[in-house]
């Protein structure tokens, strides 16, 4: 029995990994900078991330930030020691959970006096200390670079010897106006306007990961897995295994699903020690031990109490509805409604959402219908919150609730629009264009800048989370193959999982009869 169970688990795990699109996800760049995830870490009290030859490429390749600054230095160099406080002062603006401008610039350092980094420093032609290189994080993966190299997006920072001068150089390069005195949530004008810049959604993949992990943390912290709720969580995990936009979350959800019955039996007889152990590990397991990072990027409000988790969860739900097949529309609808009803901790929000779910009388027959229903539900929520925030005067000044999508993002979505006497927006929608917008915005664009490092043992070139205009002909084929493979393999995984539960119940009943 033990041998067969172990063999079944190995098979299940293999299927789960395959269902998660055969990926080997990195942990570096999405880590909270002070945690040291994936070998990359900041020293105690430091904001800049210490890298070496073993994690340099992986960390930068998967960074959510638009730009990177890498300081090459030597620990024995007096000038480097004197420069460190200046570099750290700028790094604290961009790195870590207390950063005023997270997700903008990642600041790292490499110690060229360490033997393991000799070749890495030579690759960047380091000939003095400190030596600062600027550019998009993904462009640091090259065989050789020289300061005056043509057609390179990397650039040597030639005027950054003090914190003021370094930040001035960055501001000039980015066309920004960051200030060394900027604090978290204080400089509202710096926040990206999601209503006017469609490219901002590409940064939301990191917030979707964080929202997924945070949701599980809440479930565990509040001991919300009970005999009458466990099935709804299993159902939601099944949807995540096949359709979560992040590879690492698909894989982590599959692994969690495989071990689910070991941890949460139907009688929920967990000891306090077991619960504490699960709480510590499961939240990290679902999307990787670099999540949560401790800050939001796309979903970051201009005030501490706005946006964040609720925004990330909405983006996750929208992304699921544009990835499913028509045959999965009703089960996905039920899974989402039950998940919110059982596990979303805001009682008023949970009640309103479930009322909208209960008002649906006809089963969904297509993914299009489900995606449009969720979009309509989201706008109903926004309309309700707009009125409440106006009465209480507590709206986020940079991100007030609006009818979505605004005309700036999707002019073709609007047939006509007008204002009622009380100022409410009335829109005649072109639902075909709305659906096209949702598929592009929460589907293709959401993962278009999401990078994962090469697989350690093998490559599957046709299955990728990456998409670009230059590969428009190949992306749909790869995406379709990935979804089909995940769905088919997940069917096998679910079948094995159910069989395993039945076998356990059978043997349990047999043992009771013997007693």
Residue with tokens 């609007």: 414
Is residue 67 within 8 A of residue 174, CB to CB? The reply is yes
Taking residue 346's Cβ as centre, other Cβ atoms within 10 Å add up to 12
Residue with tokens 């706005």: 306
> H-helix or E-strand containing 338?
helix 329-343
Distances (CA, A) of 248 to 105, 273, 342: 23, 27, 25
Annotate 34-54 with three-state secondary structure.
Answer: CCCHHHCECCCCCCCEEECCC
Radius of gyration of the chain (CA): 25
Reduce the DSSP state of residue 292 to 3 states and report it: coil
Q: How far is it, in rounded angstroms, from Cα 56 to Cα 50?
A: 9
- DSSP-derived secondary structure letter, 138: G
133 close to 141: Cβ distance less than 8 angstroms: no
Are the beta carbons of 94 and 46 closer than 8 angstroms?
no
Give catalytic residues, as residue numbers. 77, 80
**Neighbour order of strands in the sheet with 49-51:** 49-51, 105-111, 67-73, 131-135, 155-156
Helix (H, G, I), strand (E, B) or coil at 378: helix
- Cα–Cα distance between 263 and 250 in angstroms, integer? 19
d(CA 230, CA 479): 31
The 3-state DSSP class for residue 156 equals: strand
Peptide bond into 130 cis (omega under 30): yes
- Cα separation, 467 vs 445, in Å, equals 8
């Amino acid at each position: 029995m033990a041998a067969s169970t172990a063999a079944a688990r190995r098979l299940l795990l293999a299927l789960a990994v395959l269902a998660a699109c055969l990926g080997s996800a990195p942990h570096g760049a999405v880590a909270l900078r002070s945690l040291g995830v994936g070998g990359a870490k900041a020293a105690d009290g430091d904001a800049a991330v210490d890298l070496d030859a073993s994690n340099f490429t992986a960390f930068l390749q998967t960074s959510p930030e638009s730009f990177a600054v890498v300081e090459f230095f030597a620990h024995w160099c007096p000038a480097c020691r004197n420069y460190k406080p200046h570099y750290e002062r700028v790094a604290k603006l961009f790195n870590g959970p207390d950063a005023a401008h997270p997700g903008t610039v990642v600041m790292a350092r490499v110690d060229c006096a360490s033997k393991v980094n000799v070749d890495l420093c030579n690759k960047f032609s380091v000939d003095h200390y400190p030596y600062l290189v600027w550019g998009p994080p993904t462009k640091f993966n090259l065989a050789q670079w020289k300061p005056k190299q043509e057609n390179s997006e990397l650039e040597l920072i030639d005027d950054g010897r003090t914190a003021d001068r370094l930040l001035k150089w960055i501001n000039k390069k980015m066309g920004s106006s960051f200030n060394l005195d900027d604090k978290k949530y204080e400089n509202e004008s710096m926040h990206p306007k999601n209503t006017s810049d469609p490219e901002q959604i590409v940064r939301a993949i990191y917030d979707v990961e964080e929202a997924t992990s945070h949701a599980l943390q809440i479930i565990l912290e509040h001991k919300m897995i009970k005999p009458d709720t466990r099935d709804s969580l299993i159902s939601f995990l099944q949807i995540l295994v096949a359709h979560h936009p992040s590879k690492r979350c698909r894989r982590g959800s599959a692994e969690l699903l495989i071990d689910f019955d070991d941890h949460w039996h139907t009688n929920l007889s967990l000891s306090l020690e077991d619960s504490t152990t699960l709480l510590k590990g499961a939240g990290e397991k679902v999307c990787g031990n670099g999540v949560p990072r401790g800050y939001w990027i796309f979903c970051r409000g201009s005030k501490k109490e706005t946006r964040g988790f609720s925004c990330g969860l909405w983006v996750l739900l929208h992304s699921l509805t544009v990835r499913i097949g028509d045959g999965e529309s009703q089960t996905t609808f039920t899974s989402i409604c039950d998940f919110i009803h059982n596990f979303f901790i805001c009682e008023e929000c949970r009640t309103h959402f479930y009322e909208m779910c209960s008002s649906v009388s006809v089963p969904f027959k297509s993914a299009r219908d489900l995606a449009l229903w969720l979009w309509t539900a989201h706008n109903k929520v926004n309309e309700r919150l707009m009125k409440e925030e106006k009465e209480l005067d507590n709206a986020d000044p940079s991100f007030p609730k609006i009818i979505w999508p605004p005309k700036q993002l999707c002019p073709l979505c609007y047939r006509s629009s007008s204002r009622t006497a009380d100022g409410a927006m009335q829109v005649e929608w072109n639902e075909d264009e709305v659906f096209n917008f949702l598929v592009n915005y929460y589907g293709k664009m959401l993962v278009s800048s999401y990078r994962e490092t090469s697989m350690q043992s093998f490559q599957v070139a046709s299955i990728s989370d990456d998409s670009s205009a230059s590969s428009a002909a190949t992306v749909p084929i790869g995406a379709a193959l990935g979804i089909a493979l995940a769905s088919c393999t997940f069917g096998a995984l679910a079948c094995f999982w159910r069989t395993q539960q039945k076998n356990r119940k059978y043997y349990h009943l047999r043992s009771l009869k013997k007693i």
